[in-house]
Amino acid sequence: MGNRKNINNMMTEKEIRELIYTTVLNDGMPEPLAILIVAQSRHETDDYSSHAFLKNNNCFGYKYVPGAHWQAGPGITSSEKAPYAMYTSIENSVHEICAWILRRRHDGRFPPDLATITSPIRYATLLKRCMYFGDPVENYIHGLTTYLNK
């Protein structure tokens, strides 16, 4: 499974995970959080097989927001009838989540020391508190944990 090619950009799942991890670290996130963000991308994209990922380089299920810095425009329509964000690269999708986390830290909704986010429970709880996802927090924790253990 780790060697399956992504039809969108001909990268293996392992190469995609490594690209996301490296981009997260380069954006200043601590290693424990980088590992959780990779698990989040796998959860949000069903291991990089979702249409939003394959067609729009959307690693985190972001919806389109007009004028958003990293987004290239609206992409395919979600089940909620809202367009997903389209990105010109996987890296831009990763830059968006990192910028989002930094904004949440700045406004006091994430801890000042991001290195304290070391578990799926902690990360999912913070994401839920910031209304990042609509799923029950237990489902998101399970998704993160599943991909951390793969």
Separation of alpha carbons 36 and 107, rounded Å:
21
pTM of the prediction?
0.93
Sequence-ordered list of residues with C-beta below 8 angstroms from that of 114, at least 6 positions apart, any chain: 29, 30, 33, 101, 105
What is the predicted pLDDT for the residue at 79? Answer: 87
What is the predicted pLDDT for the residue at 1? Answer: 38
CATH dotted code for 13-148 = 1.10.530.10
Both tokens of 123, joined, read 């990360």
Residue tagged 């809202």 (tokens): 82
Structural domain boundaries in the chain: 13-148
What is the predicted pLDDT for the residue at 8? Answer: 52
Sequence-ordered list of residues with C-beta below 8 angstroms from that of 129, at least 6 positions apart, any chain: 109
Instruction: Tally Cβ neighbours within 10 Å of residue 87.
Output: 25
64 contacts 70 by C-beta, under 8 angstroms: no
Instruction: Tally Cβ neighbours within 10 Å of residue 51.
Output: 16
Residue tagged 């237990």 (tokens): 138
Residue tagged 């009838």 (tokens): 81
Separation of alpha carbons 75 and 86, rounded Å:
5
What is the predicted pLDDT for the residue at 5? Answer: 41
Residues of the chain with pLDDT under 50: 1-7
